[in-house]
Structure 1
Amino acid sequence: MERRSFLRAVTAGTGAVAFAGTLWQGAATADTAAAAGDGPYGPLQAPDANGVALPAGFTSRVVARSTRSVGGIIWHGAPDGGACFADGAGWIYVSNSELPLIGGVSALRFAADGSIAGARRILSGTNLNCAGGATPWNTWLSCEEIFRGRVFETDPYGNKSAVSRKAMGRFKHEAAACDPDRKVVYLTEDEEDGCFYRFTPNTWGDLSAGRLDVLCDGAGGAVEWRQVPNPDAPLTQTRDQVDAARHFDGGEGCYYAAGVCYFTTKGDNRVWAYNAAANTLGVVYGGGASLGTVDNITGRAGGDLYVAEDGGNEEINIITPDGTVAPVMRLDGHGDSEITGPAFSPDGTRLYFSSQRGTSGDKTGKDGVTFEVRGPFRR
């Protein structure tokens, strides 16, 4: 099966149902599904004054720096996962802080013209908040990447207090992605033998109670879900409670669109695609020099995926529906950092992301930088 044909099937969502389980199983063991090529925006130009290399027609600016004032608050250290939310004629970008003990989330508010209109803390006093995910009801799920970590549901608008959602499991959480079609939330786990989970709330829109399942290998190349007996167990890890659970090497970013949940695993440098309608699993990207150490992931309605690197060339790469992998951004001088929190503004014209440790690479995250890139992004 040709790489480009496979990727078109994956990104078509429910269109991939027609593929037999054996084909998906074969794709999951292939070395690559997508390959390096010429991206839709053209080659990267020389780095600009902010050290950001972009295609022609794109521009960058710095919107926040760790330990410095922005919008009336001090921007947090070690910025990580993020998302954008509509706010009247403007929008809000939320960003996790992957710092121990003080972690939390900050929200940066933009006016309609893109100027910074304010900022606030929406979660404080938590631990190593790494990635997370936005919900259809406009809350941000902030995940702790620690032993028995929690998921916190936060309010980007600052009207409600953050709430711990223990029913979603106590493990080394990484990212979350909501599937409004099936009314479930997918969750990744950052362990060398981590799992891929699905949380089904008793009531959609209320994450206080529900059922946690873990992905397991099924018959004929398909997969199946089995319930985790005790998501809040103090001693037995969730990933060890179901013998048939499928394990992944370092779960990272997670993104849902059109019937498919995409997630990344850094240990084997893969981008996976779980087709929820067909209940099958495949690989969109299976490693290679073009995209190294995959991490956070987001996408656009047209099928383009955007994958950030933790290390590598410090890039964000696009994976197009026709199977092309190409850089759309590279940071110069940030070699000891990682790219985090890619998220598009509601109108799709601006891409936000951070360099977690900046040019110094200081592991305290005090030199983190949050950027905005504007340009003719494909919808």
Structure 2
Amino acid sequence: MKRRTLLRSAVIGGSSAAFGGTLWRGAAHAAPAQPGAGPYGALGSPDANGVRLPAGFTSRVVARSRKTVAGTSYTWHDAPDGGACYADGSGWIYVSNSEINPSGGASAVRFSSTGTVTGAYRVLSGTRQNCAGGKTPWNTWLSCEEVDRGYVYETDPWGVKAAVRRDAMGRFKHEAAAADPDRRTVYMTEDVTDGCFYRFTPATWGDLSSGRLEVMVAGSGTSGPVTWAAVPDPTGATATRNQVAGAKRFNGGEGCYYANDTCWFTTKGDNRVWQYDAAAQKIELAYDDSLVTGGTAPLTGVDNVTGASSGDLFVAEDGGNMEICVITPDDVVAPFLRIDGQSGSEITGPAFSPDGRRLYFSSQRGTSGSSSGGITYEVTGPFRS
């Protein structure tokens, strides 16, 4: 089943791109994506930064761990991970987590309308192993702790307001979050081999201080209808994933991205990209490397995920061959970029600038294979709309 015509209304900006809303309507199920020719063509030779890109695209290094961000006095954090972009007048801000324990936290880089770096600063401190997270419709960053009984911290990308710990969103090994403004809820993944998929519905939309935490309940298959059940004790005194009978298990929850009635999320243990149709309350596979036919799976080690105005998904690899792959609305999966010489690292934090013309991401451990070797990049080029 082709998704192209269903996703063309995608729009970059606000809390998320609008896309994928009618994906399952009128069909029993959509076949998982298969390898094919990508929309941007073949990857070229490595550029000066070791990044292989399609013709017409260029890369630059924005920041390096333990180095001063050019044009500022701020030292970039170790192990850059999940990230998001925010409009800032005529410019924008890119926020990035730090996946180290202890310390962790998050930092931000501010850009002018021309892409010049104009500032860098801390937005969250004193937390542990901040992995991924999610952007809210009210322009805050949900920074998630990937530790046992970890918390979600709501942070200010501008670094003006103090970060707030959101206890009501549950204590578990958080990975990523994605806000659904249509149902006024936030979806969350859990990074353990028998993890669950959650949603948190605040008592008042825009205020995450209180609300209802629920876990997805479904059968053992990879597609079909689901229900939601309240987690009795979000404090995690008993592991949240073990409190509800029949909770659906996912093998290592990773990235999470919402757009127009669909929440896309990844599981690294089985190299799958899932799609949850929030309107129909059904789940389906968008990609599974074990179901690839007629060639080698181009996408392995699935991790962080984001979307473009074209309706394309961009999925970063943790391992694999250090690629960001694109999954098109036509169910084609292909490499978009590859980083050479960094096999001991992983790609993290993909996020588009508000105008959709620049893609930010990091190599968490860079060429050194150490958390102190992280590199944050920007790719500019003719992204399709």
Deviation string 1:312-369 (CA, Å, 9 cap, x unpaired) is 010000000001111111001011100000000001110000000001112xx10100
| Distance of 1:9 and 1:377 partners within structure 2 | 18
CA contact (8 A) 1:354 1:369 kept: yes
Aligned twin of 1:137: 138
CA apart distance, 1:16:
3.3
What letter matches 2:149 in structure 1?
R
Aligned twin of 1:373: 379
Deviation string 1:199-254 (CA, Å, 9 cap, x unpaired) is 000000000000000000169931000100011132x1000000110000000000
| 1:226 counterpart (229, 232, 236) | 229
Aligned twin of 1:165: 166
What letter matches 2:227 in structure 1?
E
Aligned twin of 2:326: 318
| 1:357 counterpart (333, 352, 365) | 365
Alignment of 1:150 onto 2:156: no
CA apart distance, 1:265:
0.2
Aligned twin of 1:280: 282
| Distance of 2:46 and 2:216 partners within structure 1 | 42
Deviation string 1:294-316 (CA, Å, 9 cap, x unpaired) is 00000023311000000101000
| Distance of 2:211 and 2:4 partners within structure 1 | 34
| Distance of 2:174 and 2:193 partners within structure 1 | 13
CA apart distance, 1:18:
2.6
What letter matches 1:342 in structure 2?
P
| 2:300 counterpart (292, 299, 306) | 292
Q: 1:272 to 1:10 in 2, by over 3 A?
A: farther
Alignment of 1:68 onto 2:74: no
Q: 1:283 to 1:9 in 2, by over 3 A?
A: farther
| Distance of 1:270 and 1:211 partners within structure 2 | 28
Aligned twin of 1:334: 342
What is the SS of the residue equivalent to 2:41? Answer: coil
Alignment of 1:302 onto 2:310: yes
CA contact (8 A) 1:122 1:162 kept: yes
What letter matches 2:259 in structure 1?
A
CA apart distance, 1:65:
0.2
CA apart distance, 1:110:
0.5
CA RMSD, Structure 1 to Structure 2 (Å): 1.6
Aligned twin of 2:12: none
Query: Any gaps of 5 or more consecutive residues in structure 1?
Result: none
Deviation string 1:74-122 (CA, Å, 9 cap, x unpaired) is 1000000000000011100000000001100000001111111001100
CA apart distance, 1:14:
3.5
| Distance of 1:194 and 1:79 partners within structure 2 | 24
| 1:256 counterpart (248, 255, 258) | 258
| Distance of 1:131 and 1:203 partners within structure 2 | 24
What letter matches 2:368 in structure 1?
S
CA contact (8 A) 1:7 1:34 kept: no
Percent identity over the alignment is: 64
Q: 1:14 to 1:61 in 2, by over 3 A?
A: closer
Query: Any gaps of 5 or more consecutive residues in structure 2?
Result: 8-18
CA apart distance, 1:6:
5.6
CA apart distance, 1:19:
4.1
| Distance of 2:164 and 2:242 partners within structure 1 | 27
Deviation string 1:251-308 (CA, Å, 9 cap, x unpaired) is 0000000110000000000000000011000000011521011000000233110000
CA contact (8 A) 1:309 1:338 kept: yes
Alignment of 1:99 onto 2:100: yes
CA apart distance, 1:7:
4.8
Q: 1:367 to 1:14 in 2, by over 3 A?
A: closer
| Distance of 1:273 and 1:160 partners within structure 2 | 34
Aligned twin of 2:248: 246
| Distance of 2:3 and 2:196 partners within structure 1 | 24
Deviates more, 1:215-224 or 1:183-192: 215-224
What is the SS of the residue equivalent to 2:21? Answer: helix
In the TM superposition, 1:16-165 aligns within 5 A as 16-19=23-26, 23-24=28-29, 33-70=32-69, 71-165=72-166
How many residues are treated as equivalent by the alignment?
364
CA contact (8 A) 1:7 1:33 kept: no
Question: Which runs of 4 or more aligned residues in structure 1 lie more than 6 Å from their structure 2 counterparts after TM superposition?
Answer: none
What is the SS of the residue equivalent to 1:156? Answer: coil
CA contact (8 A) 1:337 1:358 kept: yes
Aligned twin of 2:21: 14
Q: 1:128 to 1:196 in 2, by over 3 A?
A: same
| Distance of 1:336 and 1:358 partners within structure 2 | 8
CA apart distance, 1:17:
4.8
Aligned twin of 1:268: 270
CA contact (8 A) 1:264 1:295 kept: yes
What is the SS of the residue equivalent to 2:202? Answer: strand
What is the SS of the residue equivalent to 2:22? Answer: helix
CA contact (8 A) 1:7 1:284 kept: no
Aligned twin of 2:196: 195
When normalised by structure 1's length, the TM-score is 0.93
